Structure 1
Amino acid sequence: MKEYFIAALLAVALLSASVAAHYRLKATEWRTTAYQFQKVARQQAATITDINQRQQRLAVLDKTHTEALSAAESENDALRRQLAAGTRRMYVHAKCPVSGTGTATGAGSLGDGAAVELAADSRRNVLDIRAGIIRDREKLKYLQGYVQTECLR
């Protein structure tokens, strides 16, 4: 009877060892899976943080250039109003050919540089061109800032 008891005790010990090994393997698998999920969660959190920081930088960049564009357009509009009201004039430095003065030098000579005032429609055209240049410059500055803050990082 003692042999049966030892055999039963040995069988129970082997069964217990087998069950323990099974649960140990499962626990190791669960721990590995948990570490993988934690790694993915950390990567996602880092990505979200990076996206939020980029959005903040772009908001600052956008605000800066929007304000600069608005100020430049306001200045151009003020200039347009002053020209329309007559409180300011627009002159162009130009050289005009001298009309025949009876000299033998020919018709190809130029007179001294003189200030010439533009007609009203020409002034509007110049101001429209100026406004377009201002907008284009601000857009280029914005895009350069974007490339420096986002693309070159």
Structure 2
Amino acid sequence: MAHRHETTDPAGTEALAAELAASLSPGDVVLVEGELGAGKTTFVRGACRALGVDGVVTSPTFTIGQRYPGPVPVSHLDLYRVSDLGEEDPDFLEDYVGPDRIAFVEWPRDGVSRIAGLARVAARVVIEHAGEDRRVVTIVPAGDPRAVSTIDRP
């Protein structure tokens, strides 16, 4: 069952992500979707902090992926600029997604099936603008077919 939350500011979005992070284990992947500027990286930053990442967490839009050391390694991928995962190096995702780390993937689009083949999709998070700093965050947990479907909205 999908869980819908409203946050009033970036700190609230980060706090919600921290709650989700508490339920994650190595090998889990969280798919994060939303329009440009919706707060995807803010959400991932909150989760990373809760998972013990000390460094700066920034959007990997231009680098495609970031890896962060911590008690459990965390990967943060942004596939916005990747038009076709099939054209990428076959081992590309394996550098970021695997049984030894928790991964967050922004703009997963057509990569969902490849990602799900490497690790367990623990949740799909959809973030929507709700005016000013407010966001509506829908979390679809594993077990709900919408968590691994290729639709853009739960």
Q: Same fold (TM over 0.5)?
A: no
Q: Radius of gyration: which is bigger?
A: 1
Q: Report the structure, 1 or 2, having the larger strand content.
A: 2
Q: Report the structure, 1 or 2, having the larger helix content.
A: 1
TM-score for both structures, normalised by structure 2: 0.20
TM-score for both structures, normalised by structure 1: 0.20
